[in-house]
Amino acid sequence: MSSNHQFDPQTNVLSVPSTLPQESSLIAVYTNLTTVNHQLEQDQARLKELERKVGNMQYLHTLPDSNLFSDNFLKRAFAIFGYWLVAYLFVAIPFFVLASLLGG
């Protein structure tokens, strides 16, 4: 303990000499508090804006309504086969049409 501090064991009180802060210190503290308060208000406004944006984006993180994402293995297998068949037909039909027109 510093020599400026006095401890009274009977009352269990520590007495510290009071020193009043200088006026310039109070102005500096007030300025810092004002700056921090202003920054806090800006951060709160930014947080609300980000929360609003995230709330609007929730629908982007949902899976599409497709059997590809089903828990049932057979549904997933037939969905893959169905997508493959449609893709094959999109690619193959123009070739068959072209071959039948040129081949005669």
Domain assignments of the chain as residue spans, ordered by start: 1-62, 64-104
Mean pLDDT of 59-75: 83
79 with 70: CB under 8 angstroms?
Answer: yes
Structure confidence at residue 9 (pLDDT): 74
Mean pLDDT of 74-94: 96
User: Per the structure block, which two tokens stand in for 47?
Assistant: 């947080």
- Residues 36-52 pLDDT 10s: 889 999 999 999 998 88
Residues 6+ apart with CB under 8 A from 1: 7
Mean pLDDT of 62-82: 90
CA distances, 12 to each of 1, 2, 8 (Å): 15, 17, 6
Going by pLDDT thresholds of 50, 70 and 90, the confidence category of residue 61 is: low
**Segments of 16-69 assigned E as strands:** none
> Please, what is the average pLDDT of the chain?
83
